[in-house]
Structure 1
Amino acid sequence: MTAWNASDLSRIGAAEELDLESERADGTLRTPVTMWVVRAGDRLYVRSVKGVDGPWYRGTRSRHQGRVEAAGVRADVAFHDADPGEYAEVDAAYREKYGRYTGIVGHVLTDRAHASTLRLEPR
């Protein structure tokens, strides 16, 4: 696992939203999708509200890599499936960061969303 540098980790982790572009099988990037991003410890995570059936999540499955951009940081990343043991910490990060969106935050805390939890690692 490659670690984020402290500045990029802080900036992306504090960003309200992140743009994610996954790579197609031919190496080209898909259209960016804007989503929430959370930091748990020294790791960054994203989830699909639609779980593994979400279109952007399915797009990450072809090459397991892509690019993200948030808070002025643009980084090539690898998408790693989070271990179920990481879900509780990621849930807590979503609640803390986005809890003010009471009608929405619950959608990223479901079992369906858990299954799509991806850890973003720089490459």
Structure 2
Amino acid sequence: MDWSGALKTLGSAEEIEIETRRAADAPVHHTTVWPVVEEEEVYVRSLRGDSGRWYQDISANPDVVVHLDDEEIPVRAFLAPDAQSVERASDGLRSQYTDSPHLDSMLRDEILHTTVRLEPR
């Protein structure tokens, strides 16, 4: 799947699985996250803030694999705590998950800095 196709699919996906590892030779860890596509950029955020396992993994090793519709998409994770990225991700979460009882948990001030942008490798 090319990146433009992935963006379309990610934009309509409620959840995706990301595969992380702390180092290239470390065991793989899988986590389900909410993707948001805003202005052709893909964002995810750690519900558990800094203590989220996947967030700790990408901080050490930003090479991640997104599992989507039986496809594996290699991406690089970039920490995106800047105001513009946080706002885009939050706006996308509000728009895409408006009916979820968990939405407020993803918009807590103490986790906003764990916004991450995913880009193709």
Q: Same fold (TM over 0.5)?
A: yes
CA deviation vs aligned residue, 1:64-106 (integer Å, no higher than 9, x gap): 11101123442111110112222112111001111111x2101
Matches within 5 A, 1:72-83: 72-82=70-80, 83=82
In the TM superposition, residue 112 of structure 1 has moved relative to its aligned partner by: 1.9
Secondary structure of 1:100's match? coil
Paired position in structure 1 for 2:24:
26
> 2:86–2:113: 8 Å Cα contact kept in structure 1?
no
Secondary structure of 1:115's match? helix
Matches within 5 A, 1:44-63: 44-63=42-61
> 2:18–2:30: 8 Å Cα contact kept in structure 1?
yes
Alignment gaps of 5+ in structure 2: none
Q: Which amino acid aligns with 2:10?
A: I
Normalising by structure 1, we get a TM-score of: 0.87
1:116 aligns with 2:105: no
Task: Among all aligned residue pairs of Structure 1 and Structure 2, give the percentage whose two residues are the same amino acid.
Answer: 28
> 2:47–2:105: 8 Å Cα contact kept in structure 1?
yes
Match of 2:105 among 98, 107, 118: 107
In the TM superposition, residue 28 of structure 1 has moved relative to its aligned partner by: 4.5
Normalising by structure 2, we get a TM-score of: 0.88
Alignment gaps of 5+ in structure 1: none
With 23-32 and 90-99 compared, the bigger mean Cα shift is at 23-32
> 1:52–1:112: 8 Å Cα contact kept in structure 2?
no
Paired position in structure 2 for 1:94:
93
Paired position in structure 2 for 1:16:
14
With 79-88 and 65-74 compared, the bigger mean Cα shift is at 65-74
Q: How many aligned positions are there?
A: 119
Q: What is the aligned-residue RMSD (CA, Å)? A: 1.6
